[in-house]
Amino acid sequence: MSADLPVLVHGAIRLEPLGEAHRGALKAACESDQAIWDIYSIDLRGEGFDSWFAGVTAAETGPLAWRMWAVMKEGALVGMTGLSPDARHPGVVEVGTTFYVPRVRGSGLNRTVKWMVLNHLFGTGAHRVEFRVDDRNGRSKAAVQKLGARLEGVLRRHKITHTGVIRDTNVFAILDTEWPAIEARLRP
């Protein structure tokens, strides 16, 4: 599990380090939205989920590993989000691999979750937080911009997804010097 992550709590929202106790509920949540996985780099349905979950819960201490939180609302799992520190550049962290069940999208949950994650990261020494979004994923691009992240550029033909599409990746970032003003606006 992502044991090096703290539990983060704000009101009814709780971010718990992803572990075996979350497996069944997260797999069911990922299966609940068949269409979304076509615009993700990975496919978290069926065997794709099992393979990913085994990797993310077993290898979280490696330099390229994603550390994942289960997103809980009022005690029920409603999604996940994670981070990946850049081993080559201390203080730089990518936030991503975010998924929410359809019923909570557009509810303001993502804003609160990302505020919690960003507050934690900037409070523990990050100076740059990145979000990397498939150019085809309009919902995620809009959500990241609503947080206050700036589009810094597009990595053209950057990554081959599980569907074989070679995607363009939008790179957004928030800097530690920008965080105080953004945090005051985002704070729930």
Under the banding of pLDDT at 50, 70 and 90, the label for residue 1 is: very low
Q: Which of 129, 53, 37 is nearest to 89 (CA)?
A: 129
CATH number at residue 145: 3.40.630.30
pLDDT higher for 58 or 33?
33
Looking at the domain assignment, is residue 3 inside a domain?
A: no
Within a domain: 105: yes
What predicted TM-score, i.e. pTM, was given to this entire model?
0.92
Predicted confidence at residue 61, as pLDDT, reads: 55
Across 156-162, average pLDDT: 91
- As for how many domains the chain has, the answer is 1
The pLDDT, as a whole number, for residue 122 is 97
Domain membership flag for residue 12? yes
Residue 130 β-bridge partners: 94, 173
Is 82 part of a structural domain of the chain? Answer: yes
In the chain, % of residues over pLDDT 90: 76
Task: Give the amino acid at 85.
Answer: P
Q: How many CB atoms lie within 10 A of CB 182?
A: 17
Whether 21 is covered by a domain: the verdict is yes
Yes or no: say if 98 and 70 are a contact pair by the CB < 8 Å rule.
no
> Higher confidence at residue 143 or residue 34?
143
Q: What is the arrangement of strands in the sheet containing 166-175, beginning at the earlier edge strand?
A: 8-10, 13-17, 67-73, 76-85, 92-100, 128-134, 166-175, 150-160
The whole-number average pLDDT for the span 98-120 is: 96
Q: What is the DSSP letter of 103?
A: G
Domain presence at residue 1: no
